[in-house]
Amino acid sequence: ELAASISSDVTALCVLGRGSGGEECDRRIKEDYYLTESEKQMIGRITDHFANVVLILNINGFIDLSWTLSYPSVKAIVYLGTAGEQGAAALADILTGKVSPSGKLAATMALSYEDYPSSPYFFTNKDKPESILTYDDYHLSPEANGSFGFEKSPVALYQEGIYVGYRYFDTFHKPILYPFGYGLSYAAFDLEFLCSDIQEDGLTLALQVINTSREFSGKEVIQIYVSAPEENLEKPYQELLNYRKTKCLAPGEKEQITIPLPFSELTSYDEESASYLIEAGDYYIRLGNSSRHTKIIGKITVPATIITARYKNRMSIRPENKNKLRFLKKKTVSSYTYSGENEEKANAPCLYKLCQENIPVRTLKEYQVNTSETAVPSALPDVKKGSTNLEDFIAQLSIEELAVLVNGYGPGLPFGGMGGKYPNTISYADGEDIAVSTHPSGSVGYVSPALRKYGIPSVFYKDGPAGVNMTAWPTGMSMACTFNKELLYEFGHACGTEAEELQVDSWLAPAVNIQRNPIGGRNFEYYSEDPRHTGYCGTAITRGAMDNNKITTCPKHFALNEQETYRRGSLKKHYDALDSIIEERAAREIYLKPFEMIVRSTNVSTIMTSFNKINGIFAAQNKDLCIGILREEWGYQGMVVTDWGDMDIVVNGANAVASGNDIIMPGGPPVIQQILIGYKEGRCSLSDLKKAAYNFLNFVIKSGSFERFTKETEIL
C-alpha cells in the first residue's frame, strides 16, 4: 500500500506496457490505444501520493498520452519501446544520469486518436463485423473492383493521400502533443549552418553542432527538411530530406558534420504526365531537431520545371472509382508557421540555381530475361563454372519441375500443427518425389525445393525484422528512434553474421511499411511515419547485413501492408482480402519510397510481396508493381517472393508467376497444381516459368547454401 504522504524529493517510476497487435491482428482503440480502467486507477493513486513521477512506456505501439497534460506531477516521459535484452540496463543508465538520452520520435504523437487523418478509414475489430469498411461504404461496386461473391469485401481507403504523419499535422496546422523528430536530452545543443558545396548529384551541407551544456555529454540529431513550392501539384508544408547524428559531445565540445541533399529528393510525381518533376520555384532548406523546431538556412531556386523521370502510370485508381472517391486536399488551408518564418524566407540565401541540364532524365528500361529452347543436360554447378549458361540449363527442366521449383518446399502449412500428414512436393510418374530438402537446419515451409538430379540445393528463409532469434534486439519502431544510420548498419551486420551461423540465405527483413495509423498491428516492426526515414533505416540495415556476409535481406511487405485486419481475408468467414485503395502519387511518394531507396542503394536480392490487394489487384499479381515499377523503373535484378500465404484468400500461384512473382511461399502441392492448371489454361506461360526460375536460380547460385552444397557434393 502507498503511504499516506511521501516526501517531495522521492520520484516514482510508473511503467505502462503494451504487447498487443501482431500478424493478422491490429490493435484496439479502447483499452489499448487509450488507457484501461485499471491503468487509470493506478495512475491516479501514484500521482496522488508522489509529486514527481516519471512515466516509462514499455510499449510496442503508441498510446494516448494527452491525459498527462492533466497530471502536473508527471515530470518526464521515457519512451522505452520494446528495447530488447539490454533495454533494462540502458533504462537504468538514463534514469541515473549516467547516459543522456538521444532518441527522437519517429512518428507524431497526436492529442487524440481521432486526430490522425487515417482514423475514419481504419477498422480493426474482428468481433464487430458491422465495423468492417467495405466497397459499399464508399458506394463502390465489389464486382467492378474484382471481388465476386464474398460476404464482405474489406477496403482500406488511403483518403489522406500524401498527408501522412507530420506532413498532415504541419500542413493543416493541427495541434499535437509531440512532433516528429522530437526528443529531450540532459545536454543542450546549438546548430549552425556553415556553408554548402555543390556535388555532381546534389548539395552537401556543412553544419556545426556545439554542446552548450556545462554538465552533461550527449548526442544530437541534425534534421534537414525542405518546403517545396506549389505550381500545379500540392505539397506538404515540409518533408524530411536527410539527417545525421553527432558523436557523443562533451560539454562545450563542437563537431562539424556534412549532410548530402540529392537533387532527386526534391521531386514530386505528376499523374497527368506520368513523370517525376521538380516544379519551378524556391525550395526552402530547413535545419532543426524536430518537425516543429526548424529554421530556414537557404534555398534552392528552380527557374523552370525540371523533369527527372518519364514513366507510365501504374498504380492509378480504377476508372469506375475515380468520380466516387474524394481524397484529402489542402486547398486554401493555412499551414503551421512560427514567428519570423516570413523574414527567414525573405532573407534566405540562394544555395544553388537548379536547371534541367543539371538533372539526367530517367526512363523505363525494358525487363528482359533471356530464355532458351536449347536444352543442355547439365547441373547447376556447371553454370557456376561457366561450362553452360543458366538459360540452357533451365531449358532441360520439365513443366512439372519448373512448377515445383518456383514454390517453397513443404505441405503449405509452415505454421504447423494442422494434424495429419501432408506431402511436401509432387512426384514423377514412377512415384519418386521431384524435390527434397537438403538444408541441414531450415524448417519445412521455410526452405526451397532441392532438385538433386540437377544439383539444385535448398535455400533457407528466416524471419524477422528484429533479428533471426539469436539475440533479442529492439524492435524496428524502437531502433528508428535512434536516428543513427551507423548504428543501424551495425545492427544489420550483426544480424547478417548471426544469419550466416544459422545458414540462412534470405533474412525476411527489414519491414519497411509505413506507420500510417497508431494502432497498426505491425507498427512495432515498421520504422516510421516518414518514408525517407524508413528508407534510410532499411538501407542501412540491408547494407550492414550483406557486407561480408553470404546473405541477402528481403524487404517487405511490397506494398501497402499498413493494416493487418483481413489483409488476406478470411476463408472461414468468406471475406475477401483487404483492398488498399490509393492515389498513385501517394503510393509512389509515401508507401513505395522506402523500397525504392533500398533497391537503388543496395544489391538486395529478394523482396517480399504483400497479401493485400492494391486498387483491386493482389500485390503479388500486380504486374505493374512487380515488373513495371520494381524492375523497369528501379532496375531491380533480384527475385520476388510472396508472403507466406498458407490459408485464406491469397493470390493464385499461376497468376502470381505470370505477373512477375518468382517464388510462391510456402507453396507446396496445392500451389504447384495451381501453376500446372494455369499453364494448361494459358494464364501462365512456359516463358513466365523460365523467367521465374532464372531469377530464383540466380539467387541460389550466389547463396551460402549453394556454396556449402557444392563443396559437400565434391567431397562425396
Burial state string for 280-319 with b = 16 or more CB within 10 A and e = fewer than 16:
ebbbbbbbbbbbbebebbbbbbbeebbbbbebebbbbbbe
The predicted pLDDT at position 716 comes to 52
Report, as ranges of residue numbers, the positions in the chain whose pLDDT lies below 70.
1-8, 412-421, 715-716
**pTM, to two decimals:** 0.97
What does DSSP assign to residue 481? G
- 643 given a catalytic annotation: yes
The Cα–Cα gap between 576 and 127 comes to 17
The Cα–Cα gap between 687 and 374 comes to 13
DSSP track, 494-549: HHHHHHHHTT-SEE---B-----STT-TTTTTS--SSHHHHHHHHHHHHHHHHTTS
Q: With 0-12 CB in 10 A as exposed, 13-18 as middle and 19+ as buried, what is 551?
A: buried
Report the relative pairing of strands 461-462 and 506-507 from DSSP bridges: parallel
The predicted pLDDT at position 412 comes to 64
How many residues are present in the chain? 716
* Per-residue pLDDT tens digits for 637-682: 999 999 998 778 999 999 999 999 999 999 999 999 999 999 999 9
Give 430-464 as a 3 state SS string.
CCCECCECCCCCCCCCCECCEEHHHCECCCEEECC
Burial state string for 355-380 with b = 16 or more CB within 10 A and e = fewer than 16:
eeebbeebeeeebebebbeeebebbb
- What pairs with residue 556 in β-bridges? 511
Mean pLDDT value across the chain: 95
* Per-residue pLDDT tens digits for 339-362: 999 999 999 999 999 999 999 999
Q: With 0-12 CB in 10 A as exposed, 13-18 as middle and 19+ as buried, what is 421?
A: exposed
The predicted pLDDT at position 411 comes to 78
* Per-residue pLDDT tens digits for 414-467: 444 444 567 899 999 999 999 999 999 888 889 999 999 999 999 999 998 899
The predicted pLDDT at position 58 comes to 98
Residue 350: count other Cβ atoms within 10 Å of its Cβ.
10
Q: With 0-12 CB in 10 A as exposed, 13-18 as middle and 19+ as buried, what is 215?
A: exposed
Residue with the three cell numbers 533479428: 467
Q: Among candidates 367, 345, 193, 338, which has minimal Cα distance to 283? A: 345
CATH architecture, domain defined by 380-715? Alpha-Beta Barrel (3.20)
Q: Among candidates 659, 513, 652, which has minimal Cα distance to 595? A: 513
Torsion of CA 698, 699, 704, 706, to 10 degrees: -40
The predicted pLDDT at position 415 comes to 46
CB 99 within 8 A of CB 78: no
Query: What share of the chain has pLDDT > 90, as a percent?
Result: 91
CB 198 within 8 A of CB 295: no
User: Which residues have CB under 8 Å from 377's CB, separation 6+?
Assistant: 396
DSSP track, 279-308: -SEEEEEEEEEETTEEEEEEEEEESS-EEE
The predicted pLDDT at position 128 comes to 85
The predicted pLDDT at position 410 comes to 84
CB 392 within 8 A of CB 378: yes
In degrees rounded to 5, what are phi and psi of residue 466? -100, 25
The predicted pLDDT at position 124 comes to 83
C-alpha cell at 658: 505470370
Per-domain residue ranges of the chain: 1-81, 114-157, 380-715
* Active-site entry in 463, 624, 643, 648: 643
In the three-class reduction of DSSP (H, G, I as helix; E, B as strand; rest coil), residue 68 is classed as helix
Torsion of CA 291, 295, 297, 298, to 10 degrees: 70
Give 589-637 as a 3 state SS string.
HHHCHHHHHHHHHCCCCEEEECCCEECCEEHHHCHHHHHHHHHHHCCCC
Angle of helix 669-681 relative to helix 686-701, nearest 10 degrees, comes to 140
